[in-house]
Structure 1
Amino acid sequence: MRARLALGAVLAAVAQVAATGLLLTSAWLIVRAAQQPPVLYLMIAIVGVRFFGVGRAAAVYTERLLTHDVALETAIRTRIEVYAAVARLAPHGLAGRRHGEVVQQAVEDVDTVQDRLLRIRLPWWSALSVVVVLTTVVGVVEPAAGAVVAAQALVTVLVLRIAVPRWSGASVASPLAPDVTEAARNAAELVALGAADAAVATARSEIARTARVDRRRAHAGGGGSAVVLVLTAASVAGTAAVLGPVLAAGTIAPLLVGVVLLAPLALAEALDPLADAERRRPVVAAAERRLRDLVDAAPAVAPAVDPAPRPDDPTIELDAVTLGWATDLTTPMSLTVRPGEVVGIGGPSGSGKSTLALTLARMVAPRRGTVRLGGVDLTELRAEDVRSVVGVLGQDEAVFDTTVRENLRIARPAAGDDELVAAMARAGLALDLERGVGERGSHLSGGERQRLALARLLLGGHRVLVLDEPTEHLDGPLARALVEDVLALAPEHTVVLISHDPAVLERCGRQVVVERLDARSTVVA
């Protein structure tokens, strides 16, 4: 990547220098042709014009291939890094971020960061190359004119670098994308509650605010371009002023006067892209800060320093464990779940049942106490090792808008069709592997969606299955049928069945009741 980037930067500078050479050579050719010399006197200039024209096109084309390849590869690496950070932080570490904000960072911010190379650094490298070459050439021809061109470049660069970013203003992440994402995800509920108009009004207000910000940035970029043009005009006038006495004294060839007079125009072509670069700088910097904050965020569950090997024994033990997020949620609890058992976890809403499921899978650390898997403290095990043994089926498990086959293969990409069908059969499901499930499983019934998620869990080879409200949103017959299929998974699998339905809990071999700390209750095994 470094070699490609270095070559791309050199070619970008070559392309800009070639553009300058094309302009100056053309100026010399026009002035010399006006003197009507023999055509052979013009051949070198004619070849030079062709050389610079073709060379510029070739350099630009090759530079775009190289730099865009580097930028896209960097974006892929950054996006993978963001995905890894999300996987490391979820779910506790993402508690302060909305779904749309995480998507915005993983998509929009990563795309924006590409502009650092393509739209900020490359224009600066090209412009500075032209400044050095052009001021040197003009300075050799006429030192005073070279000083004028150098002054034009210096003032232009300082104004663009300092004024344009300030005029653009600080960049703040717009809540528009998260708001629209949340509204789309909850559209049915918003309509049912009569809150859809309020959500639309909020979105329109944010659209108007975003448009004002965009206009301000556009004005900053346009103002920067205006500064370039004004300073270019001043430089042309200054160059003409210093060339007059020199031409009158005969110390400069008349042919070179036209070339030197066009030098500020060639410089303007190189400096004008800097206005757009500086307009984008605050936006890119803000996106980089957000990504850095996400990637560098400390995980809610600290990784094991010297991880122990994954235990073969799937016994789960909770020793005086207090559950919670920012504060304690439950009283200290002790529980042992042995291999092949079916344990029902009950309690009122908000008592910590779902938190318990995440804690068992090492997605949330207990506030106090110790959780062991096979006699080994979870803090001494890699999170992926724990989750390879303990699988969690949430209340609203993700179902992707693709085929049944691809939804199942998320658990084991190398699984064959026979294995997929067998996993579905164990989950009590019979679907065509080529069938599309729709967005969020919209083409499936509630029972089919839950059984598909259960089949995916079974395909993953988890020995402990933690099912969080698996019968939620299912009517009586469907719920009972699903419970029967879940119970049939024991004793091959340990089943921890979380539910608020007494009828479901009664089917379990053992029941545990979880209540909130503020209810001053205990957990009884």
Structure 2
Amino acid sequence: MSDIQDTLIQKEAPKAAFQQIFTVWKPHLISLVIGIIFSLIALALGLTLMSSAGGKIAFAAMGMLVISSVFLKFLGGGRLLMRYVERLYTHNVMFKAIADLRVWFFARLSKGAAAGLGFRHSGDVLSRLVSDIETLDGLYLRLMLPFASSVLTFLVLIVVIGSVHLPLAICIAFLYILAGFICPLVTASMTKKHGQTLLNSVSQLRIGVLDFIHGLREIRAFGAENRMAALLDKREKKLFEKQYHQAKIVALMSFLSFISSQIAILLILAAALNIGFHGIGAAHIVVCLFLTITAFEVVVPLTKAGGLAGQIINAATRVVGVNKGHGYDVPTGSEDAPDQTDIQLNDLGFQWSAERPFVYRHLNLKIAQGERVAIIGPSGAGKSTLAALLLKVIAPQEGTITLGGKDIALLTEDSVRKKIAWLSQNTHLFDDTIRNNLLLSYPQATDTELWQALSEAAVADVVKAMPDGLDTWLGEGGIKVSGGQGRRIALARTLLSKAPILLLDEPTTGLDADTEMEFFKILNQISSDRTIILIAHRLTGTEKLDKVWRLSDSCLISEN
């Protein structure tokens, strides 16, 4: 991840990030509140159990039977049952909420990644998808639930001990606030900035590991195993250093929290000896002691949660800011695309950002329905940018693009993309069967339609020769077929979409000359009722085209 991306992410307001997360979790808000209620009921039963047990011991020592064993058994059983229900319910709710967040993350990522735009390191995406989103379950389970429990415990502690001895209650309350609120807040503040570097270190390690795995053949071919291993070791040590530094902060504040709890217990023992606090009966001393021990057991772990808070804050900004620097505002549109598919660019102007120069200014182009055209030009001339504009992945700052006479800004994205089938220069075949790879573009297709598409792409005979036919497993990235066969299967998937416009962006990248010429011969046989837009560096001379434009210096020059 670049420094610019990091800076943009760090500037993302945590408040806005959490607002977005709770917006995603809105369908589960009632369930989340119910989970907090269950947690408080379980806590109340636990506090009552410990206080009553202390009272029973004290009164039994004085020969009095005030609290029955049956009542204690009821409290104990109730606490056990509610704790089980609370854990089961809250974790189930959080699993659903996290699942929704992952779906939202994928949708957000696709906004910037469509048409090859906005891709970032796969290791960084994996880190956000796995580590960061999993960290966010602590927002509810490790922060919200414990905080609600600590507030209830504080109120119970003040009311019970305050009714016995107000000065003692004030002292216990101060120590409780120190252990349960101040120490966690200080820990969160100290680890917030450090949490960002910690998450980035995890991301960088994942990026390195995935690069190592993907490039293992090249690494071994050049004898670079030791150098790459040393790089991974360096990143791992950096991560361990960050984790160790954070662990020291959490350990220090946990120690202060623990000391506060021990001082609170010592104050009650001092009151039992009439040191500093006088006039408290033995029975009340035992009740207060049991209640205080239980109360501080609730809040002492909050310091560790405070250490996690810094990571949660930064995880939220990283997840919500996945497209920072890659998101582009595209008009939503509300109309369906018309039946006519003439394309026209009118005085088009586009730039990726205000700091960068315009890719185009005053660009004009007209493609009639059913025409076969090519747009050629050198790398960096803006050919793939043009494809992204036609697919409505991005929007121009100047001018308009019309489809069938209608401005695509007014059309829905889905309706535009149903009219345009796209074959990219980096076509991906999934680790699945040929059938499922083809059905990606048209899920309702029958076997007859699948074979027809494969036949049009001149790869049907190859698939029929395979033992499992359409159910042949392609492997990761289509590794079980050759590059030319994989590109033809991808073309078949594009043809299967039935879209009236075929947008082919460098479709023969990586193919040898003979395979490239064969690919275009297949393309020439595709039914003439479709509009074909070929984007390429150069032409082979075998293409059947109506018009050819060269993109140069932000202008289209006719080659006809």
Give the 3 Å change call, closer, same or farther, for CA 504–48 of structure 1 in structure 2. Answer: farther
Instruction: Find out whether 1:11 has 2:38 as its counterpart.
Output: yes
**Alignment partner, residue 130 of structure 1:** 153
Instruction: Find out whether 1:479 has 2:516 as its counterpart.
Output: yes
**Alignment partner, residue 318 of structure 1:** 345
Q: Out of 222, 227, 233, which is 2:251 matched to?
A: 222
Q: Which amino acid aligns with 1:313?
A: Q
Give the 3 Å change call, closer, same or farther, for CA 255–328 of structure 1 in structure 2. Answer: closer
Give the 3 Å change call, closer, same or farther, for CA 456–262 of structure 1 in structure 2. Answer: same
Instruction: Find out whether 1:156 has 2:179 as its counterpart.
Output: yes
Which of 99-108 and 282-291 deviates more? 99-108
Q: Which amino acid aligns with 2:416?
A: V
**Conserved? CA contact 1:402–1:438, under 8 Å:** yes
CA distance in 2, matches of 1:340, 1:178: 45
Offset from partner CA, 1:339-382 (integer Å, 9 cap, x none): 22222232223332222222222223346443221122222322
User: How far off is 1:191 after superposition?
Assistant: 5.6
Q: Out of 174, 177, 190, which is 2:206 matched to?
A: 177
**Conserved? CA contact 1:332–1:522, under 8 Å:** no
**Conserved? CA contact 2:261–2:296, under 8 Å:** yes
Alignment of 1:419-434 (within 5 A): 419-430=449-460, 431=463, 432-434=469-471
Instruction: Find out whether 1:435 has 2:475 as its counterpart.
Output: no
Partner SS state of residue 70, structure 2: helix
CA distance in 1, matches of 2:105, 2:533: 32
User: How far off is 1:281 after superposition?
Assistant: 0.7
User: How far off is 1:274 after superposition?
Assistant: 0.8
CA distance in 1, matches of 2:302, 2:84: 20
**Alignment partner, residue 381 of structure 1:** 411
Which of 472-481 and 438-447 deviates more? 472-481
**Conserved? CA contact 1:324–1:355, under 8 Å:** no
**Alignment partner, residue 236 of structure 2:** 207
**Alignment partner, residue 17 of structure 2:** none
Alignment of 1:92-491 (within 5 A): 95=118, 97-170=120-193, 171-172=195-196, 173-174=199-200, 175-188=204-217, 199-245=228-274, 252-294=280-322, 299-304=327-332, 307-321=334-348, 325=352, 326-329=356-359, 332-366=362-396, 368-430=398-460, 431=463, 432-491=469-528
Alignment of 1:46-65 (within 5 A): 46-65=69-88
**Conserved? CA contact 2:387–2:503, under 8 Å:** yes
CA distance in 1, matches of 2:30, 2:378: 61
CA distance in 1, matches of 2:275, 2:247: 42
In the alignment of these two chains, the number of paired residues is 517
Q: Which amino acid aligns with 1:216?
A: H
Offset from partner CA, 1:115-144 (integer Å, 9 cap, x none): 111110101111221221133122223334
CA distance in 2, matches of 1:214, 1:182: 23
User: How far off is 1:449 after superposition?
Assistant: 1.6
CA distance in 1, matches of 2:432, 2:315: 31
User: How far off is 1:31 after superposition?
Assistant: 4.6
User: How far off is 1:277 after superposition?
Assistant: 1.5
Q: Which amino acid aligns with 1:214?
A: Q
CA distance in 2, matches of 1:390, 1:56: 61
Q: Which amino acid aligns with 2:366?
A: T
**Conserved? CA contact 1:168–1:216, under 8 Å:** no
Q: Which amino acid aligns with 2:419?
A: V
**Conserved? CA contact 1:512–1:524, under 8 Å:** yes
CA distance in 1, matches of 2:124, 2:558: 37
Q: Which amino acid aligns with 2:282?
A: P
CA distance in 1, matches of 2:450, 2:206: 37
Q: Which amino acid aligns with 1:241?
A: A
CA distance in 1, matches of 2:441, 2:325: 27
User: How far off is 1:303 after superposition?
Assistant: 1.1
CA distance in 1, matches of 2:399, 2:238: 49
**Conserved? CA contact 2:162–2:168, under 8 Å:** yes
Q: Which amino acid aligns with 2:471?
A: E
CA distance in 2, matches of 1:84, 1:374: 28
CA distance in 1, matches of 2:451, 2:420: 22
Give the 3 Å change call, closer, same or farther, for CA 196–138 of structure 1 in structure 2. Answer: same
Give the 3 Å change call, closer, same or farther, for CA 472–293 of structure 1 in structure 2. Answer: closer
Q: Which amino acid aligns with 1:422?
A: Q
Give the 3 Å change call, closer, same or farther, for CA 71–93 of structure 1 in structure 2. Answer: farther
Partner SS state of residue 6, structure 1: helix
Partner SS state of residue 508, structure 2: coil
User: How far off is 1:59 after superposition?
Assistant: 1.1
- What TM-score comes out, normalization by structure 1 length? 0.88
Offset from partner CA, 1:319-352 (integer Å, 9 cap, x none): 3445654423457543322222222232223332
CA distance in 1, matches of 2:222, 2:409: 44
Give the 3 Å change call, closer, same or farther, for CA 267–111 of structure 1 in structure 2. Answer: same
CA distance in 2, matches of 1:438, 1:412: 21
- What TM-score comes out, normalization by structure 2 length? 0.83
Give the 3 Å change call, closer, same or farther, for CA 405–152 of structure 1 in structure 2. Answer: same
* TM-align CA RMSD: 3.1
**Conserved? CA contact 2:183–2:253, under 8 Å:** yes
CA distance in 2, matches of 1:299, 1:254: 67
**Conserved? CA contact 2:271–2:277, under 8 Å:** no
CA distance in 1, matches of 2:261, 2:549: 80
**Conserved? CA contact 1:428–1:451, under 8 Å:** yes
Give the 3 Å change call, closer, same or farther, for CA 370–186 of structure 1 in structure 2. Answer: farther
User: How far off is 1:239 after superposition?
Assistant: 1.6
Give the 3 Å change call, closer, same or farther, for CA 301–230 of structure 1 in structure 2. Answer: closer
Which of 54-63 and 2-11 deviates more? 2-11
Alignment of 1:503-518 (within 5 A): 503-504=540-541, 506-517=543-554
Partner SS state of residue 81, structure 1: helix
Offset from partner CA, 1:216-251 (integer Å, 9 cap, x none): 3323333333222211111112122233339997x5
Q: Which amino acid aligns with 2:474?
A: V
CA distance in 1, matches of 2:343, 2:335: 16
Give the 3 Å change call, closer, same or farther, for CA 9–497 of structure 1 in structure 2. Answer: same
- Point out where structure 1 has 5 or more consecutive residues left out of the alignment: none
Which of 88-97 and 450-459 deviates more? 88-97
CA distance in 1, matches of 2:137, 2:497: 37
**Conserved? CA contact 1:344–1:511, under 8 Å:** yes
CA distance in 2, matches of 1:6, 1:521: 60
Which of 196-205 and 486-495 deviates more? 196-205
